[in-house]
Amino acid sequence: MTDDDTLMTDGGTDEKARTDGGPPATVPSDDETPTWSERKERSQGLAQLTYQYFERSRREDEDLRAESTYVERDVLGFPAWPHETLRNLAITSFFVGIIILVAAVLPVHFGAPANPGSTPSVILPDWYLYWSFGLLKLNPMNPELAVLGGNILLGNEFLGIIAHGVIFGAITLVPFLNKGSARRPVEQPFWAAIGVTGVVLSITLAALAIQNFFPIQLDLLFTLTFLLPAAGGIITYAVLKTMREGYMYDLNRRYYMLRPPK
């Protein structure tokens, strides 16, 4: 140990404490000084790179704050009236005119009047509503109670409405439950698995809605409607969970190599 190395409270030196390669720093107080075991855990692998990453980020943030001469001031902008309002009205009028022009040049072709005395063999909504139509075909899930003489507890239509409420309620709660800043599925495997489960469920519900076009037994199709989303979510979570540690290691290593310490 040379004269320039400052002896730290745990027996180490100040030079060793700066594992990110920066210049010697001020010795922190005893309650902030990492112990020997904590420093040992940061000496290799993901823990070391993560420690270096946050140490560098903290020091750069302090340097930027010290060197910055920015002074907060009011930002000039255009008022909503009349500038923004007139511009938006002009754009809206243009697109409304285009719609009216297309409607006049290409009128809608009406076919023969529907026959109220006959019902089509297959009744389907637009393709993007197949999943919603599939929720109306959950009749096998409607429970029957012996105490009611074998009568169903809820009507099939009401059961479909409740299923819609559950789906929309879950979609509404997701932004309040997941407030993380992750931008890639591998960073949050659980929520990525929830998303995959929802996508697969919408596809299987759409398949249930057009069951007449599939040469599959209804019981098997109904089972696959809920089995495939669960399997897709579990597989997604397992794969992303396995990839996460290696991904974070490579991310920290890449950041540290591209932005070496000062």
Report the sign of the C-alpha dihedral through residues 24, 25, 29, 31, in that order.
negative
With respect to residue 117, please indicate whether it lies within any of the assigned structural domains. no
With respect to residue 72, please indicate whether it lies within any of the assigned structural domains. no
With respect to residue 99, please indicate whether it lies within any of the assigned structural domains. no
137 with 243, same domain: the answer is yes
31 with 143, same domain: the answer is no
Return d(Cα 234, Cα 228) in angstroms, integer: 10
154 with 243, same domain: the answer is yes
Per mean pLDDT, which of 29-38, 112-121, 122-131, 227-236 is the most reliable? 227-236
Which of 18-27, 31-40, 66-75, 223-232 is least confident?
18-27
Number of domains in the chain: 2
User: Which of 97, 62, 60, 2 minimizes the C-alpha distance to 262?
Assistant: 60
With respect to residue 98, please indicate whether it lies within any of the assigned structural domains. no
With respect to residue 34, please indicate whether it lies within any of the assigned structural domains. yes
Which of 21-25, 101-105, 133-137 is least confident?
21-25
246 with 142, same domain: the answer is yes
Q: Does residue 48 contact residue 253 with C-beta atoms inside 8 Å?
A: no
Domain final position from 61, 89, 117? 61
50 with 167, same domain: the answer is no
230 with 131, same domain: the answer is yes
Q: Identify the burial level of 201 via C-beta atoms within 10 angstroms of its C-beta, where 0-12 means exposed, 13-18 middle and 19 or more buried.
A: buried
Return d(Cα 233, Cα 190) in angstroms, integer: 9
At residue 150 the predicted structure's pLDDT band, cuts being 50, 70 and 90, is low
With respect to residue 195, please indicate whether it lies within any of the assigned structural domains. yes
- Peptide bond just before 34 cis, omega within 30 deg: no
55 with 138, same domain: the answer is no
Which of 33-37, 46-50, 122-126, 205-209 is least confident?
33-37
With respect to residue 33, please indicate whether it lies within any of the assigned structural domains. yes
Give residue 170's domain range: 127-258
How do residues 67-77 score in pLDDT, each as one tens digit?
776 655 555 66
8-state DSSP, 3: T
pLDDT at 148: 61
Residue 4 sits at the vertex; the CA angle it makes with 2 and 5, to the nearest 5 degrees, is: 70
54 with 133, same domain: the answer is no
Whether 14 shows a pLDDT value over 50: the answer reads: no
- Give percent above pLDDT 90 in the chain: 19
Please provide residue 26's backbone torsions phi and psi, each rounded to the nearest 5 degrees.
-70, 135
Q: Does residue 21 contact residue 12 with C-beta atoms inside 8 Å?
A: no
What's the mean per-residue pLDDT of the chain? Answer: 75
55 with 167, same domain: the answer is no
31 with 136, same domain: the answer is no
143 with 55, same domain: the answer is no
Assign residue 21 a region: left if phi > 0, alpha if psi is -120 to 50, beta otherwise? left
171 with 247, same domain: the answer is yes
How do residues 193-234 score in pLDDT, each as one tens digit?
999 999 999 999 998 888 878 778 888 888 889 999 999 999
Read off the amino acid at residue 88.
N
With respect to residue 41, please indicate whether it lies within any of the assigned structural domains. yes
